[in-house]
Amino acid sequence: MHYDIHGRTDAAAPTIILSSGLGGSGAYWTPQIGALAPHFRVVTYDHRGCGRTGGEVPETGGISAMADDVLEIVGELGLVHFSFMGHALGGLIGLDIVLRRPEMIDSLVLVNAWSKADPHSGRCFDTRIALLENTGVEAFIKAQPLFLYPAIWMAQNAARLADEEAHGLRHFQGRENILRRIAALRAFDIDARLAEVKIPTLIVATKDDLLVPYSRSEHLARHLPNAELVLSDFGAHAVNVVDPLPFNQTVVDYLLSNGKPS
């Protein structure tokens, strides 16, 4: 597992691990590093089968296998406890770890995540799979921003999107990895166990998310015993990239109030 460490390096520094979504790249969290670094040791990582980690997503194991990868990093760093922030798929990884090792996580931040996928998200997954299988990698990569960003933001950031597309083509994680990661998203279902997630949890969602209806976050907020929901009108699925300043302030304030920073 390839990971990077940012921010505080002193022995007393609390740690937060950041886990990205389907793309699996630790670089996804670049807009958050500067805000978190003064308070935390910040760990970002490339998911198995993605970026500098490479390899293949296991055929079986789903989200739990991806959580095992995080625990491998935790073991290598010798962490006893930490906070965790996950975007979409990354949020599911965080929930899986909490259910298996609740003593390890001080606080949890879930960004446009869910306990069970909405049928609408399934339609989006079907569309992306059809593009990949029937049209090819270039079409799959070209369509990706439509599921991540608001239309006005895409119109104002055309050069950035062109760079992202070129990078995505150069570093495509592979057909089989994508299909296995989407299958893991679809299979994840912890609705019956939400009451077991008792740690402080911040849920961040956006009303204009095309991929994940914000009702999924409202459902989490209703059923997690110690949850707080922040729902915004703008930012779409990748709200931490589209509108990072208010997102960062919300997350830092929450973690400083509910985590164990020193």
Where does the pLDDT of residue 260 fall: very low under 50, low under 70, confident under 90, or very high at 90 and above?
low
Average pLDDT over residues 95-113: 97
pLDDT at 259: 56
The encoded tokens of residue 145 equal: 């921003």
- 142 alpha carbon, distance to own chain's centre: 21
Cα–Cα dist 5/45, whole Å: 9
Whole-model pTM? 0.96
Q: Give the other-Cβ count within 10 Å of 54's Cβ.
A: 14
Average pLDDT over residues 120-129: 96
Pairing of strands 3-7, 41-45: antiparallel
Q: Residue 232's beta-bridge partner residues?
A: 206
Q: In the predicted model, what is the mean pLDDT of the chain? A: 95
The encoded tokens of residue 26 equal: 């630790």
Q: Which of 10-14, 94-98, 209-213 has the lowest mean pLDDT?
A: 10-14
Cα–Cα dist 151/126, whole Å: 21
CB 238 within 8 A of CB 211: no
Q: What is the 3-state secondary structure (H, E, C) of the chain?
A: CCEEEEECCCCCCCEEEEECCCCCCHHHHHHHHHHHCCCCEEEEECCCCCCCCCCCCCCCCHHHHHHHHHHHHHHHHCCCCEEEEEECHHHHHHHHHHHHCCCCEEEEEEECCCCECCHHHHHHHHHHHHHHHHHCHHHHHHHHHHHHCCHHHHHHCHHHHHHHHHHHHHCCCCHHHHHHHHHHHHHCECHHHHHHCCCCEEEEEECCCCCCCCHHHHHHHHHCCCEEEEEECCCCCCHHHHCHHHHHHHHHHHHHHHCCCC
Where does the pLDDT of residue 258 fall: very low under 50, low under 70, confident under 90, or very high at 90 and above?
confident
CB 67 within 8 A of CB 96: yes
How large is the angle between the packed helices 62-77 and 89-100, nearest 10 degrees?
70
Is the predicted pLDDT of residue 261 greater than 70, yes or no?
no
Instruction: Give the chain's radius of gyration (CA, Å).
Output: 17
pLDDT above 70: percentage of residues in the chain: 98
pLDDT at 74: 97
Over residues 127-146, the pLDDT tens digits come to: 999 999 999 999 999 999 99
Cα–Cα dist 248/45, whole Å: 19
Is the predicted pLDDT of residue 188 greater than 80, yes or no?
yes
- Complete domains list, the chain, with CATH: 3-258 (3.40.50.1820)
Cα–Cα dist 209/235, whole Å: 7
Where does the pLDDT of residue 262 fall: very low under 50, low under 70, confident under 90, or very high at 90 and above?
very low
Over residues 20-59, the pLDDT tens digits come to: 999 999 999 999 999 999 999 999 999 998 888 988 888 8
Cα–Cα dist 86/114, whole Å: 11
Q: Which of 74-78, 100-104, 221-225, 258-262 has the lowest mean pLDDT?
A: 258-262
